[in-house]
Amino acid sequence: MNATGAIQDHIPEKFDPAEVRNLFPALAREVYGKPLVYLDNAASSQKPQAVIDRLVRYYSSEHSNVHRGVHLLSREATDAYEAARKRVVAFINAPSEPEVLYTRGTTEGINLAASSFGPLHVGKGDVVLVSHMEHHSNIVPWQMLCETQGARVRAIPVSDTGEIIYEEFERLLSERVRLLAIAHVSNTLGTINPLKRMIRHAHDMGVPVVVDGAQAAPHMKIDVQELDCDFYAFSSHKMFGPTGIGILYAKAEHLETMPPWQGGGDMIETVAFEKTTYNDPPHKFEAGTPNIADVLGFASAIDFLEGVGQNRIAAYEQDLLAYATERLSEIEGVRLIGTATDKASVLSFLIGDIHPYDAGTILDRLGIAVRTGHHCTQPLMRRFDIPGTVRASFALYNTFDEVDALAAGVRRVKEMLG
């Protein structure tokens, strides 16, 4: 039986979060003598047993380096490694396999685009446009590019509800803008940006678009052809796969002109001291021995997501988010940060004047894992004039009972520190 079939055998026919939870061994543990309530999925999600088993199987009986090997293990590893790329192509509806590059994650994908594509398009006096809600990984690489090119980064402001102010986007999209870098979903606010409209508008001005899809890929179907984005980066570890592996989708027309950003084995065609010629995409951008095991684990995570059903997951998570929003809004003194109409399953909040770190520490002792701080979005924190937030982020294995536990935990924080 193939890996996909084995995973399907363990997925309930009807979506039941209680049954889905049983597929994730980490969720069965206790912390401080209490059942773990894991609400830190926007940082990194837990892994189903099928993904763990895939990693073990590879290291136990399949390990070999990929590409160029003539022996059986190398050929088997290469076949599995490239089959995983095909899975990603189908998952995001990419036009072709060469347009899907393996990276270490979203951060590396954006850095690759900034380092290789950026200098070809951004020059002195030009502008790279981002938004106030971007993760640092979609700000700093562009600042580094602009410092070397004599360009500058400008930010699209967001409203009090945490939504792009579209009129400001239109105003800022001037003839000096050479690139738009935008999050599909905000990691802090959960805001789902009007990506298709923004990309169409940018393209009308001849501006290519790089999308940070780290927070979107776990929660919704991604279709890069429908979006018509130029680049789309996302990570395995936020979508129930291993850490250290991610994807950068890039249009073929860009990959053909972009220079390699790292040199070494596998990205070359010929090497001589006089001149080196480079491999074709995607290998042109994948120097050295790759993260083979985690690529295979990532493919298993995709099988898992599609086996459960992305539309079913999205509908359930929306119900969970609506319930959590209602329960926390009932608590006096709780202030929700980010109340966009269109949101993914992220809930950021403050509890009166209580510092987020103190709130998170008490919640942790109650067995509730949340994230506190600025969430790598310091400009956004300054926009709202706050030191940070408590962030609860939900996944398909979270339950309404866990939302009740969170609400009770917040009330306990108020009792102790309010």
pLDDT in tens, 344-378: 999 999 999 999 999 999 999 999 999 999 999 99
Given a contact cutoff of 8 angstroms between Cβ atoms, the answer to whether 239 and 301 are in contact is yes
- In angstroms, rounded to a whole number, what is the distance separating the alpha carbons of residues 409 and 60? 43
Q: What is the structure's pLDDT at 418?
A: 76
Catalytic residue among 376, 386, 408, 417: 376
Q: Please tell me the CATH superfamily of domain 309-417, with its number.
A: Aspartate Aminotransferase, domain 1 (3.90.1150.10)
SS3 content of the chain, % helix, strand, coil (to 5): 45, 20, 35
Percent of the chain residues past pLDDT 90, beyond the cut: 94
Percent of the chain residues past pLDDT 70, beyond the cut: 97
Residue 397 has pLDDT above 50, yes or no: yes
- Each as own residue / partner, the long-range contacts of residues 203-208 (CB below 8 Å, 24 or more positions apart, any chain) are 203/228, 205/173, 205/175, 205/177, 207/129, 207/173, 207/177, 207/178, 207/179, 207/180, 208/117, 208/121, 208/179, 208/180, 208/254
Write the DSSP assignment of 272-318 as a string of letters: -SS-EEEPPTTGGG--SS--HHHHHHHHHHHHHHHHH-HHHHHHHHH
Residue 26: phi, psi to the nearest 5? -65, -25
Residue 114 has pLDDT above 60, yes or no: yes
Buried b (16+ CB within 10 A) or exposed e, 149-159: bebebbbbebe
**Model's pTM, two decimal places?**
0.95
SS3 assignment, position 137: helix
Portions of the chain given CATH number 3.40.640.10 = 55-306
Which DSSP symbol is given to 376? T
**Closest of 335, 255, 334, 245 to residue 294, by C-alpha:** 245
Portions of the chain given CATH number 3.90.1150.10 = 309-417
At 249-291, the pLDDT tens digits run: 999 999 999 999 999 999 999 999 999 999 999 999 999 999 9
Given a contact cutoff of 8 angstroms between Cβ atoms, the answer to whether 273 and 253 are in contact is no
What's the pLDDT band for 243 if we cut at 50, 70, 90?
very high
Q: What is the structure's pLDDT at 68?
A: 84
376 is catalytic: yes
**Closest of 292, 313, 298 to residue 234, by C-alpha:** 298
The CATH classification of domain 55-306, taken from the options 3.40.50.720, 3.40.640.10, 3.40.50.300, 3.50.50.60: 3.40.640.10
What's the pLDDT band for 1 if we cut at 50, 70, 90?
very low
Buried b (16+ CB within 10 A) or exposed e, 71-95: eeebeebbebbeebbebbbebbebe
Which DSSP symbol is given to 53? H
User: What does R_g of the chain's alpha carbons equal in angstroms?
Assistant: 22
SS3 assignment, position 271: strand
Residue 6 has pLDDT above 60, yes or no: no
What's the pLDDT band for 16 if we cut at 50, 70, 90?
confident
Residue 99 has pLDDT above 50, yes or no: yes
Given a contact cutoff of 8 angstroms between Cβ atoms, the answer to whether 101 and 286 are in contact is yes
What's the pLDDT band for 148 if we cut at 50, 70, 90?
very high
What's the pLDDT band for 4 if we cut at 50, 70, 90?
very low
Whole-number average pLDDT of the chain? 95
